[in-house]
Amino acid sequence: LDIPHRTVFIIHGIIDSKYYGKWMKSLKDHILLSNDFYVIIVDWSKGDALPYTTAAAN
């Protein structure tokens, strides 16, 4: 990675994964328009299942 660039991680919450594509992509686009950052979108939808203890373990 090019050290001068900052890195931004976008991570959805529990139960939010079903809709992550819409708001996460919009946020990524907004960040990239105004900054020279690396943006990493994290999809942990396979590990965010209920009950909460399952998601917390992931």
The structural domains of the chain, with segments of one domain joined by +, span 1-7+24-57
* Structural contact between residues 8 and 40, judged by C-beta atoms closer than 8 angstroms: yes
pLDDT at 18: 58
pLDDT at 33: 94
Task: Measure the CA dihedral 49/17/7/33, to 10°.
Answer: -170
How many C-beta neighbours within 10 Å does residue 48 have? 20
pLDDT at 45: 72
pLDDT at 12: 82
Query: Is the overall model pTM greater than 0.75, yes or no?
Result: no
Residue-wise pLDDT for 6-54, tens only, equals 899 998 877 665 565 688 889 999 999 988 899 999 887 776 667 767 6
- Cα separation, 35 vs 40, in Å, equals 14
Q: pLDDT confidence of 2, banded at 50, 70, 90?
A: low
